[in-house]
Amino acid sequence: MKFGDILSRLLKGSLVVFCLLAAPLLNGDTQLPFKVHDIRVEGLQRLPVERVYASLPIQAGDTVTRDQVVDAVQRLFASGNFEDVQLGRDGDDLVVIVAERPSIARIELSGNKSIDEENLRKGLTEAGLAEGEVFQRSTLEAIAGELERQYVSQGRYGADIKTEFVALPRNRVALKIEIYEGKAARIRNINIVGNELFDDEVLLDSFELHSSGFWSFIKGDDKYSREKLGGDLERLRSYYLDRGYINFSIESTQVSVTPDRRSVFITVNVAEGEQYTVNEVKLAGDLVVNENQLKPLLIVKKGQVFSQQLVTYTNDLIKRRLGNEGYTFAEVNGREHNANDKDHTVDVTFYVDPGRKVYVRRINFSGNTKTSDEVLRRELRQFEQAPANTSLVDLSRQRLQRLGYFSVVETDTPRVPNSDDLVDVNYSVQEQPSGSIGANVGFSDASGFIFGANVTQNNWRGSGNRVSFALSRSDIRDSYSFSHYNPYYTLDGVSRGFSMFYSKIDFDETSVASYAADRLGWSVTFGYPISEYSRLNFGATYEKTNITTGDYVAVDIDRFLMEKGDEFNEYKANVSLQTSTLNRGILPDRGWSSTIGVEVAAPVSDYSFYKVNWNGQKYFP
């Protein structure tokens, strides 16, 4: 439970104490009853008089009785705005004399470290302690007590909370909450009593809490916490249930604190029981999917040692299968029953409640401040107005993640208000940089001044297109290139990419090479999706090359140029198969990718060749 919720409940559950002061109250038979001519309020400083009238059950013209006086005082106290309330009579006028509670001018906090100030102030506000609110001493005292209990639950038995309020002009107060958190008590020993089947070391290995050791000052795993101990006990219970001990129980838990409040000793008493195996596995309930399709999902098998983990896994598999049919909110509960204490067997039945079949009303995106909705929507496999399909919703999320434009992609499927068969699918994304820019400046004796720049953007202006261009210039060499890739050249996912390049070397200005090659060309590529993870690519390239030789050219190069000439026109064709299951477009940590390609020179080229290449990668968690 959050700290703010605890403080709010304290305020709602606090006792209201009514004080009825008696001078000069209407309590004599000579004063009551009487008919009220007018109502006069005295003592207000900050509050408008309408606040009093709103809580007062008496109006001008009413005949006041003793019961009405008591009811009026109680209602005014119950508003929480007043410390003192008196009702008196001045002729036929009813006089209401009040003393306002002070308002909170400011709240000063000090000493809090384990509970950050933002959360602490939020909790105080929810409990009614905020600047501008009416101050009630009982609420402050209750909060101080709750704070101490919170620190004790963290193992800080020496925590001390001091509260003080200082009166300020105009009926205001300043609250000071001084917190001494103390140090968390260290765990000296954790002892499990009653375990005969498994050693303490095996059972304690899954615990988050540990007794003090050499690395504890770094890990902090020897600091006692009630919440962490509760989690460790659940892990202990799961350890036995996953190994067939269905009657395992934690009999008691003792936490002993040393007199100096610096150390704790934890003792857990357990009863292990006997190990049970599975006798019969059944499906029950409303099986909207054919039973023969659900049976292969039953991971729990007859003759196996009972395992709660396998039961939970089977629940998830069946729910996912039902979700693929549109039953997004299906419930599946696997329960053991008919435990036979003689042969130590147990039956397991999975109860299926599919609920109503639901459809997608709308698909919404949030967080994509740069990327257009169209780029996200074309990756979806779940569509609006169609039955909600859990696998398609997840597949759509994975495809968005693989784009590389987003660091986080989260999915939510809330119900549509006032409808039990409609849901919205909400994708929340966090954009990340999807490009790079670089530049270089230099000087060398051979090339002179060198300048270069390159830009690559995988999500050009939020369109999902990849654009790249680069240039490099020096005294002897100029180079330029440009490329563009559209992954959705057609609506059905056919991609198109093209590039242009030019490179020229001024051979007269250099003496560092025996020959120079000037190149000019272009290429175009089309890709066709053949599955969710594979794409077949076809491409063509034209390249023109001019060779210029120097005085000391190598013999093999000179012989080649004499036979083939110094100008070449190449027409190349390529085909490749690309497959990728990587979970992210940038810095993946799961999945694999593979690309195999063949490139050949067309018969009309000045020379022929072929090239086969393959590259792949796989990530292991």
Q: pTM (2 decimals)?
A: 0.66
Task: Please state the rounded mean pLDDT for residues 188-209.
Answer: 90
Domain that holds residue 307: 277-353
Same domain, 96 and 209: no
- Encode pLDDT of 138-177 as tens digits: 777 777 777 777 777 777 777 778 888 888 887 888 888 8
Give me 1's structure tokens: 């439970």
Report the C-alpha gap between 425 and 297 in whole angstroms. 27
- Encode pLDDT of 354-370 as tens digits: 999 999 999 999 999 99
Same domain, 216 and 71: no
Same domain, 528 and 445: yes
Reduced to 3 states, what is the DSSP secondary structure of residue 532?
Answer: coil
Same domain, 494 and 556: yes
pLDDT bucket at 559, cuts 50 / 70 / 90: confident
Residue 14's nearest CA partner among 101, 121, 127, 98 is 127
Report the C-alpha gap between 442 and 537 in whole angstroms. 39
The domain tally of the chain equals 6
- Using H for helix, E for strand and C for coil, what is the string for 606-619? CCCCEEEEEEEEEE
Same domain, 173 and 231: no
Q: What is the pLDDT of residue 507?
A: 65
CB atoms within 10 A of CB 366: 11
Task: Please state the rounded mean pLDDT for residues 325-353.
Answer: 93
Give me 46's structure tokens: 């900050």
Same domain, 388 and 444: no
Q: Is residue 65 pLDDT above 90, yes or no?
A: no
Q: Is residue 215 pLDDT above 90, yes or no?
A: no
Q: Is residue 425 pLDDT above 70, yes or no?
A: yes
Q: What is the pLDDT of residue 612?
A: 97
Q: What is the pLDDT of residue 511?
A: 55
Q: Is residue 217 pLDDT above 70, yes or no?
A: no
Q: Is residue 120 pLDDT above 80, yes or no?
A: no
Residue 551's nearest CA partner among 515, 579, 595 is 515
Q: Is residue 83 pLDDT above 50, yes or no?
A: yes
pLDDT bucket at 241, cuts 50 / 70 / 90: very high
Last residue of a domain, one of 353, 377, 402: 353
Same domain, 93 and 153: no
CB atoms within 10 A of CB 123: 23
Same domain, 597 and 524: yes
Provide the pairing of β-strand 534-549 with 567-580: antiparallel
Query: Per the omega criterion (within 30 degrees of 0), is the bond before 621 cis?
Result: no
Same domain, 456 and 535: yes
Q: What is the pLDDT of residue 426?
A: 96
* pLDDT, averaged across the chain: 86
- Encode pLDDT of 567-618 as tens digits: 899 999 999 999 999 888 888 888 999 999 999 999 999 888 999 999 999 9
Report which of residues 58 and 524 the model is more confident about. Answer: 524
Task: Please state the rounded mean pLDDT for residues 258-277.
Answer: 89
427, 410 Cβ separation under 8 angstroms = yes
Give me 322's structure tokens: 């039902």
Last residue of a domain, one of 228, 252, 271: 271
CATH number at residue 147: 3.10.20.310
Same domain, 20 and 94: yes
Same domain, 9 and 118: no
pLDDT-wise least confident of 144-158, 244-258, 309-323: 144-158
pLDDT bucket at 8, cuts 50 / 70 / 90: very low
Same domain, 488 and 613: yes
Task: Please state the rounded mean pLDDT for residues 30-40.
Answer: 82
Q: What is the pLDDT of residue 282?
A: 94
Report which of residues 534 and 176 the model is more confident about. Answer: 534
Reduced to 3 states, what is the DSSP secondary structure of residue 305?
Answer: strand
Last residue of a domain, one of 154, 180, 206: 180
